[in-house]
Amino acid sequence: MGDSTIPDFVVPLARGYKFSRGRNIVRTPVAGGIFRTALDYSLEAVEIKVVFALNSLEKAAFFDWYDFAINHGADSFVIPLETDLDGLQNHQALIKPGTLNVSTNDGINWWAACTLVVETTPAQDEPFAGELWPLVEIYGNQLEPIIDRLAILVNVDFLVFK
């Protein structure tokens, strides 16, 4: 696990990334009928596709960080991303080999796109332990202000919904 953090100037575009959750279901086909399923207690890594907007100097600095701080992408690093829960959460990530692509239209503004691989997303670490969805099912959107107020009372800002 690497101890480097992605530089502050390398921020993923807020609407420029998407993620797919890791799976932990094992499916076994059968001769007839529906397949059998079982739960694997480990999770597959989550892949998150990100796009960074950089100027020429930031692009040079990004590749300096990429080549030396994370050893050409071989080491993991910490990056804040918004997934599953509202708000930014730190993720330990690796750049998936062969996915880093850089492009420009004018030689001044650059886009670096890649796929990050993270162990789990914050919601997969059971922050609500399966208790949130029944409450939302009962109270709907009326639950948000209650949770926000409780979060302020207990000083837990990651629960604030927006």
pLDDT for 155 equals 62
pLDDT for 145 equals 77
Say whether pLDDT at 27 is over 80: no
Average pLDDT over residues 64-88: 82
Summarize pLDDT for 77-129 with one digit per residue, the tens: 988 887 655 567 788 889 999 999 999 989 889 999 999 888 755 555 555 55
Say whether pLDDT at 154 is over 60: yes
**Mean of pLDDT over the chain:** 76
User: What is the phi-psi region of residue 87: left when phi exceeds 0, alpha when psi lies from -120 to 50, beta otherwise?
Assistant: left
**Cβ pair 76, 70 in contact under 8 A:** yes
Say whether pLDDT at 141 is over 80: no
pLDDT for 23 equals 60
Question: In the chain, what are the domain boundaries?
Answer: 4-121, 128-162
CATH of 4-121, one of 3.30.43, 2.60.40, 1.10.10, 2.40.30: 2.40.30
Task: Label residue 16 by pLDDT band (50, 70, 90).
Answer: low
pLDDT for 122 equals 54
Model pTM above 0.75: no
Q: In whole angstroms, what is the distance from residue 24 CA to residue 45 CA?
A: 10
